[in-house]
Structure 1
Amino acid sequence: MTGRLGSSCVVVVVEVVASFVTCLSSSPSPEKCELPPLRVRTGGFISEGRRYITTNRKSKAMAPTAVDSKRISDITEDGSMDRRGNPAVKAKTGNWRSSILLLVNYGLVTCAFFGVGVNLVVFLRRVLHQDNAEAANSISKWTGTVYIFSLIGAFMSDSYWGRYITCAIFQMIYVTGLVILSLASWFLLVKPTGCGAAGEHCDAPSSAGVALFYLSTYMIAFGNGGYQPSIATFGSDQFDETDPREARSKVAFFSYFYLALNVGSLFSNTVLVYYEDEGRWVMGFWVSAAAAAMALVLFLLGTPNYRHFKPTGNPLTRIAQVFVAAFRKWRAEVPRSELLHEVDGDESQIAGIRKILHSDQIRLCTVTQVEEVKCILKMLPIWLCTIVYSVVFTQMASLFVEQGTTMNTNIGSFHVPAASMSVFDILSVLAFIAIYRRVLVPVMSRLSGNPQGLTELQRMGVGLVVGMAAMVVAGVVEVERLKRVGAPDQPSSLSVLWQVPQYALIGASEVFMYVGQLEFFNGQAPDGVKSFGSSLCMASISLGNYVSIMLVSVVTSLTAGDRRPGWIPGNLNSGHLDRFYFLLAALSLVDLAVYVACAVWYKGIKLDSNEEKANKITVHV
């Protein structure tokens, strides 16, 4: 990096030149000249760990002085920068001072998202007059779209905008969508005012109202989806992996990140869901819009203290170059392995000779590009195995809620909205995060020798097992619910509290599966595609929703007809939702077997040491 020198550096430059001339006049070998300790500041920062005196021949490195090392230790060594593009100072940027603000931001965004999403299936049935299967598929499409948009956000973040700009832009889109939804519900959809409570349907919506509803909800999907992978990676960017203390904090950050998600959704799943279930949809949507706006303000307030990484350019181009080059060279004879090594550094191995640049990139790619593609390809089998779990997870927002509405939702004189049962999922997540970090990690670290207790792949495997158990329990509850059905058009007498175990098991599985996924895909993704790694977790949820749509459609077409209501009819009392749950449990068992084979086969990414890189920074005088 070229230093920006002020007039105060003139004395230093003169001393350097004089010493260098003296050295040249007294030594026949200019490349062996050494100078006294040199300290150069660039914009207030020491920008090198080793000083280089450059002649027309190969540079000679000098070890840093004690003063230099002390000042360099105040600067991050992972390449992160402050907002002005200078090396980030540890005491003034990043770490928990910034990540806590991002956690609060994420909690508020999540509160807004679940304020709309968790009860949306009920809104579709009561306000837009959709039946059970149609509403379940609409929710799956919308949720799937939320997470498929995460790929767009990750691409823009890694390639062009950077994480900070990406988060800011998509949050603005998100807030706009929530405001439009609130206005559309207020003036066009919730008619008469207060309709949409339990057992009370609204007037048929106008075409303009329906159009604005879908426009706003998919703007929410676009904004939230693009924001999600970038905020996770941006939060982890606030910790320097080369600092042991910050590296430990970075591991803890992902657990707290998922904790923030569930704390944020706790308010939505209790207070907002209750008022929305009573017909106060407009109020619920406006509260969600206010939470999202507050999150955006907090995010912008932290701007001076964030650490940033420069976008690395279009990763798709680099990946495509590897495949094109491989295709064009597939007949080439592979040379001996010792001939495949590149010469490290910016200079030729031969003194006085300029280094020749690569030829056509479509014909020849660097080893780094090839390894980047190999890392992504190796992660894909693991990622594909997580999709079935996402099918299981998405039932909590659709069929679990529809199942709950056909149960006894009264506890004494108090009415429990079926959608608010997801609070037990949140409480389970909060409890199991604490149990995992305080109990399981110490025990498993002693047994396995791994300081993290379980590896990311092991945790994801546990999540698959617990998710499968949740489907078995949900199926058993449905069997018991059907036994207690009186009149065909009346709810079962079975209490909705019987759903607590299935929600709690889903929450426990999330702690192992999704926290493990975040750490795995973020840690195993190459540096140039970090946000893409985080987006794989979101894309898994997206495809899980689309696979759920396909399964519901296939099951309905195969089981309904010839006067048969099918497994998931409009009236669940005449269906067999239990069989659908057991089908998902069977699919999870098959998926688990495939996952174990893929996890055993997988070999982790190997990265170059940052310590070696830190000794190669050059000051140009």
Structure 2
Amino acid sequence: METMDSMDHQQKHQLRAADGEGDQDQEEETTLDWRGRPSDPSKHGGMRAASFVLGLQAFEIMGIAAVGNNLITYVINEMHFSLSKAANTVTNFVGTIFLLALLGGFLSDSYLGCFWTILIFGFIELSGFILLSVQAHLPQLKPPKCDMLGIPAVGQQPCVEAKGFKALIFFVALYLVAMGSGCVKPNMIAHGADQFNPNNPKQAKRLTSYFNAAYFAFSLGELVALTVLVWVQTHSGMDVGFGVSAAAMATGLISLVSGTLYYRNKRPRGSIFTPIAQVFTAAILKRNLAVHRCQDNLRNSTKANGGNLSLSEGFRFLDKACMRTQDEAKAKESPWRLCTVAQVEQVKTLLSVIPIFACTIVFNTILAQLQTFSVQQGRTMDAHITASFAIPPASLQAIPYLLLILLVPLYDRLLVPFARRFTGHESGIPPLRRIGTGLFLATFSMVAAALMERKRRDASNSGQVISIFWITPQFLIFGLSEMFTAVGLIEFFYKQSLRGMQSFLTAMTYCSYSFGFYLSSVLVAVVNKVTSSGSGRSRGWLKDNNLNKDRLDLFYWLLGVLSFLNFLNYLFWSRWFSSSSTTRTSLNCVRWG
């Protein structure tokens, strides 16, 4: 991965130049203060403004993580779903959150702007938390109580799954949370990053520190959610736990509003899909034309600094969209027949990052297992630290975040400056290389999980109960893996985009989570079908609703193999990205097409 990011910054600054962002003053004019006037660099933006957004991020993840990471316990114990249905309910919920990130990114870049998108959908998320709390509190909105074996409690009706109106209330509340959180997430990252001017060398370095700080805020929120809030859910009831999540979200919104006077706000630019459609339309209309590729034939942006932008090597069939024909040189330019070089390069960027995006889907499928099956593993183990205190199984996921709260500041303050001396990259470790490191480590998380599950299953079937701390290695390894992959992916996508598409491209990183969680649901169903029909067993690896009979260890081994193959696939595509995005340096006329 030596050459993965060697061209990123040169190309990025060339694209900004072609779109009117070539100097710092022009960059400042594209941002507004809270009154709609041009922002003042001495008063607006910077880490002070971003800190209010970081506060929102910490509290928002605190609320959503407390719900998502312990949701499987609620749907099994209170809604009485089966283990496989409960796992799929959780993965579909989390998948929907991240899929809706695209909607949030589109609305922000096109019409609302980051601040208003966060505020509107933040209140939608808050309403979902409140409705979940109300349902968890009122017995008439839940099915009758019963124990884990389905035996009715004294004086209660037989145990049945929540259906009808009760299920409707649950899913409406759950997907209000999903819609709100999905649209808020990419805009928190983008709005915080928008507080820095990437054309200023000092602020460019602070932008890298901001991405690390954002992950620190994320880890802090996760840690509090998985310890304090999960403990509240376990000992005070899920209704109180959901209520605390609502309070955390409300606090985050207060933090967001408190920084209003200090924000740099970028203008929405209308539909972000129209310029993309124009490039494809123009390229298709000119598909049969033979044109000369030379600088005089290119249509640069009207704001270009000298018109010196060259086209990159990848997806050359799109180049015709920005090349003039003799007729277009004489007639009025139509944006559906003649596009700017910046437009073409933006579409090329979108196409070229898709393989990188796809390579992180399996990574997030692994994450889905840690939030579902691994929590259920913990329920079958000895969770006692002392005779009177036991760790809630969902709190196991706090272990990597406790480690990361210590590692992220050290990474930002020590490793990044040290790495800059060798790589010359403002991020220390270039984003693509950072992603690859995380994908490689994820494989070992599943290896550890498979080995531990075999040990737990054998011990349980022989009448022994092992300590819950045996499950910690898989969480620790994956937490370290996520520090590299998640932050690297967000930084990579944000820095690839031109002005006006930062939120949407940032949202694409969250879609990786979505597809990963959806793939988990599909993989569970496929594995069950294949292993039940082809092995001679009456049920599949994950069909018994009893981990002591299921073969979760084999499922983890399968994920480990898929993860390693995915890492090899990533190495290929990351090198392809570097080569396809290389800027053409020759401007001699070349006949092609």
TM beyond 0.5: yes
Contact 2:301-2:342 within 8 A present in 1 as well: no
Give the equivalent residue in structure 1 for 2:386: 412
Matches within 5 A, 1:398-437: 398-413=372-387, 414-437=389-412
Please report how far the alpha carbon of residue 395 of structure 1 lies from its aligned counterpart in structure 2 after TM superposition.
1.4
Please report how far the alpha carbon of residue 552 of structure 1 lies from its aligned counterpart in structure 2 after TM superposition.
0.6
- Tell me, what secondary structure is at the counterpart of 1:410? coil
Q: Residue 179 in 1 paired to residue 123 in 2?
A: no
Please report how far the alpha carbon of residue 77 of structure 1 lies from its aligned counterpart in structure 2 after TM superposition.
3.3
Give the equivalent residue in structure 2 for 1:581: 556
Q: Distance in 2 between matches of 1:407 and 1:573?
A: 11
Change (3 A) 1:147 1:367: same
Within the candidate set 129, 152, 158, 2:80 is matched to 129
Q: Residue 340 in 1 paired to residue 291 in 2?
A: no
Matches within 5 A, 1:161-172: 161-172=112-123
Give the equivalent residue in structure 2 for 1:55: none
Q: Distance in 2 between matches of 1:444 and 1:99?
A: 25
Contact 2:359-2:570 within 8 A present in 1 as well: yes
- Tell me, what secondary structure is at the counterpart of 1:335? strand
Change (3 A) 1:73 1:547: closer
Q: Residue 549 in 1 paired to residue 521 in 2?
A: yes
Letter in 2 for 1:383: F
Give the equivalent residue in structure 1 for 2:505: 533
Contact 1:381-1:598 within 8 A present in 2 as well: yes
Please report how far the alpha carbon of residue 76 of structure 1 lies from its aligned counterpart in structure 2 after TM superposition.
6.5
Q: Residue 379 in 1 paired to residue 379 in 2?
A: no
Please report how far the alpha carbon of residue 223 of structure 1 lies from its aligned counterpart in structure 2 after TM superposition.
0.1
Q: Residue 89 in 1 paired to residue 63 in 2?
A: no
Summarize deviations over 1:198-251 as a string: whole Å, max 9, x none.
Answer: 999886446322211100110000000000001100001111223332222111
Letter in 2 for 1:566: G
Letter in 1 for 2:455: E
Contact 1:107-1:260 within 8 A present in 2 as well: yes
Choose 221-230 or 330-339, whichever is displaced more. Answer: 330-339
Within the candidate set 389, 404, 417, 2:363 is matched to 389
Give the equivalent residue in structure 2 for 1:478: 453
Give the equivalent residue in structure 2 for 1:461: 436
Q: Residue 218 in 1 paired to residue 178 in 2?
A: no
Letter in 2 for 1:371: E
- Tell me, what secondary structure is at the counterpart of 1:573? coil
Within the candidate set 291, 306, 309, 2:248 is matched to 291
Q: Distance in 1 between matches of 2:302 and 2:455?
A: 69
Contact 1:178-1:285 within 8 A present in 2 as well: yes
Contact 2:300-2:340 within 8 A present in 1 as well: no
Contact 1:429-1:510 within 8 A present in 2 as well: no
Contact 2:45-2:262 within 8 A present in 1 as well: yes
Matches within 5 A, 1:497-576: 497-560=469-532, 562-569=536-543, 570-576=545-551
Q: Distance in 1 between matches of 2:336 and 2:302?
A: 23
Unaligned regions of 5+ residues in structure 2, if any?
A: 1-22, 154-158, 307-328, 584-593
Q: Distance in 2 between matches of 1:330 and 1:191?
A: 61
Within the candidate set 176, 186, 198, 1:241 is matched to 198
Matches within 5 A, 1:151-162: 151-162=102-113
Q: Which has the higher contact order (CA 8 A, sep 6+)?
A: 2
Give the equivalent residue in structure 2 for 1:327: 284
Q: Residue 228 in 1 paired to residue 185 in 2?
A: yes
Contact 1:121-1:136 within 8 A present in 2 as well: yes
Contact 1:158-1:530 within 8 A present in 2 as well: yes
Please report how far the alpha carbon of residue 392 of structure 1 lies from its aligned counterpart in structure 2 after TM superposition.
1.2
Letter in 2 for 1:217: L
Change (3 A) 1:323 1:296: same
Give the equivalent residue in structure 2 for 1:310: 267
Give the equivalent residue in structure 2 for 1:63: none
Instruction: Tell me the TM-score normalised to structure 1 length.
Output: 0.80
Change (3 A) 1:327 1:245: same
Contact 1:441-1:453 within 8 A present in 2 as well: yes
Q: Distance in 2 between matches of 1:230 and 1:425?
A: 25
Q: Distance in 2 between matches of 1:215 and 1:201?
A: 27
Please report how far the alpha carbon of residue 87 of structure 1 lies from its aligned counterpart in structure 2 after TM superposition.
2.0
Letter in 2 for 1:565: R
Q: Distance in 1 between matches of 2:289 and 2:451?
A: 60
Summarize deviations over 1:559-587 as a string: whole Å, max 9, x none.
Answer: 12554432213101011111111111111
Letter in 1 for 2:109: D
Q: Distance in 1 between matches of 2:195 and 2:149?
A: 46
Please report how far the alpha carbon of residue 188 of structure 1 lies from its aligned counterpart in structure 2 after TM superposition.
4.0
Letter in 1 for 2:351: L
Please report how far the alpha carbon of residue 376 of structure 1 lies from its aligned counterpart in structure 2 after TM superposition.
0.7
Q: Distance in 2 between matches of 1:196 and 1:277?
A: 16
Q: Distance in 1 between matches of 2:450 and 2:32?
A: 52
Find the structure with the greater CA-based Rg.
1
Letter in 1 for 2:531: T
Q: CA RMSD in A?
A: 2.8
- Tell me, what secondary structure is at the counterpart of 1:575? coil
Q: Distance in 2 between matches of 1:236 and 1:282?
A: 35
Unaligned regions of 5+ residues in structure 1, if any?
A: 1-71, 350-354, 608-621
Please report how far the alpha carbon of residue 192 of structure 1 lies from its aligned counterpart in structure 2 after TM superposition.
9.5
Contact 1:188-1:206 within 8 A present in 2 as well: no
**Aligned-residue identity in percent:** 33
Q: Distance in 2 between matches of 1:195 and 1:268?
A: 27
Change (3 A) 1:346 1:302: closer
Give the equivalent residue in structure 1 for 2:69: 118
Change (3 A) 1:195 1:181: farther
Letter in 2 for 1:373: V
Change (3 A) 1:219 1:391: same
Q: Distance in 2 between matches of 1:197 and 1:159?
A: 49
Contact 2:460-2:548 within 8 A present in 1 as well: yes
Contact 1:472-1:581 within 8 A present in 2 as well: yes
Q: Distance in 2 between matches of 1:320 and 1:278?
A: 54
Letter in 2 for 1:560: S
Contact 1:197-1:276 within 8 A present in 2 as well: no
Contact 1:479-1:578 within 8 A present in 2 as well: yes
Change (3 A) 1:243 1:482: same
- Tell me, what secondary structure is at the counterpart of 2:266? coil
Within the candidate set 211, 214, 225, 1:254 is matched to 211
Q: Distance in 2 between matches of 1:134 and 1:249?
A: 44
Please report how far the alpha carbon of residue 400 of structure 1 lies from its aligned counterpart in structure 2 after TM superposition.
1.1
Q: Distance in 2 between matches of 1:73 and 1:380?
A: 30
- Tell me, what secondary structure is at the counterpart of 1:571? coil
Choose 434-443 or 317-326, whichever is displaced more. Answer: 434-443
Q: Distance in 2 between matches of 1:189 and 1:231?
A: 37
Provide the aligned length of Structure 1 versus Structure 2: 527
Contact 2:108-2:503 within 8 A present in 1 as well: yes
Q: Distance in 2 between matches of 1:83 and 1:605?
A: 37
Summarize deviations over 1:475-508 as a string: whole Å, max 9, x none.
Answer: 0101111120147xx8x51211011111111110
Give the equivalent residue in structure 2 for 1:23: none
Please report how far the alpha carbon of residue 135 of structure 1 lies from its aligned counterpart in structure 2 after TM superposition.
1.0
Summarize deviations over 1:52-79 as a string: whole Å, max 9, x none.
Answer: xxxxxxxxxxxxxxxxxxxx99996362
Change (3 A) 1:262 1:560: same
Change (3 A) 1:357 1:183: farther
Change (3 A) 1:405 1:230: same
Contact 2:69-2:371 within 8 A present in 1 as well: yes
Change (3 A) 1:449 1:485: same
Contact 1:127-1:190 within 8 A present in 2 as well: no
